């Protein structure tokens, strides 16, 4: 019998019991003067209050960033940040970008080929030649 390490009692798996949205904060940066922020300013005036009310679990910060293109930055629970430049976009397009940031997991984008990933032990166990009944050839 090989030496076995002490097993962890539980592993945190979001969503199995309680669910916590991964996006914790959204930063909106805009410029009052520049034309590329026109859609962003309209978004902040007319669309953002409703979005903030719908998503009380997300902290929302709005701050000017003069002489720069408008940017939305999402902060995630895993510590990563996702930034989207929204220059020259209409308010409706910015709403789509906000929902993208909200629904994202914060992980780096990866190409995944297998749909199911599991940390559980195999339910059926590993096949052993020394167990089970003898099957004649």
Q: Which stretch binds other proteins (CB under 8 A): 19-27, 35-43, 66-74, 88-96?
A: 19-27
Q: With contacts defined by CB under 8 A, name the span among 41-49, 64-72, 87-95, 107-115 that binds other proteins.
A: 107-115
Find the binder of other proteins among 1, 3, 116, 126 (CB under 8 A). Answer: 116
Distance CA 68, CA 29 (A): 9
State which residue, 19 or 134, has the beta carbon closest to other proteins.
19
Helix axes 91-103, 38-46, angle to 10 degrees: 70
Q: Does 9 bind other proteins (CB under 8 A)?
A: no
Report 62-101 residues binding other proteins (CB under 8 A): 100
Q: Which tokens belong to 56?
A: 């009380």
Number of residues in contact with other proteins, rule: CB under 8 A? 33
* Rounded Cα gap, residues 58 and 53, in angstroms: 10
31: closest CA among 66, 1, 63?
66
Six-digit token string for 87: 């220059």
Burial letters for 48-70: b for 16+ Cβ neighbours within 10 Å, e otherwise? beebeeebeebeeeeeebeeebb
Shortest gap between Cβ of 3 and other proteins (angstroms)? 25
Q: Which two tokens stand for residue 16?
A: 């199995």
Residue of 6, 9, 119, 126 interacting with other proteins (CB under 8 A): 119
Q: Which residues are at the interface with other proteins (CB under 8 A)?
A: 13-22, 54-57, 100, 102-105, 107, 109-112, 115-120, 123-125
């Amino acid at each position: 019998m090989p030496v076995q390490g002490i097993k962890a009692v539980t592993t945190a798996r979001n969503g199995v019991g309680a669910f916590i949205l991964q996006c914790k904060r959204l930063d909106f940066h805009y410029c009052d003067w520049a034309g590329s922020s026109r859609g962003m300013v309209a978004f902040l005036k007319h669309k953002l209050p409703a979005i903030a009310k719908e998503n009380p679990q997300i902290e929302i910060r709005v701050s000017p960033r003069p002489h720069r293109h408008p940017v939305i930055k999402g902060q995630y629970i895993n510590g990563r940040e996702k930034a989207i430049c929204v220059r020259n976009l209409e308010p409706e397009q910015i709403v789509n970008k906000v929902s993208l940031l909200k629904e994202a997991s914060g992980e780096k984008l990866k190409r995944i080929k297998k749909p199911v990933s599991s940390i559980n032990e195999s339910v059926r166990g590993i096949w052993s030649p020394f167990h089970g009944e003898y099957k004649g050839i």
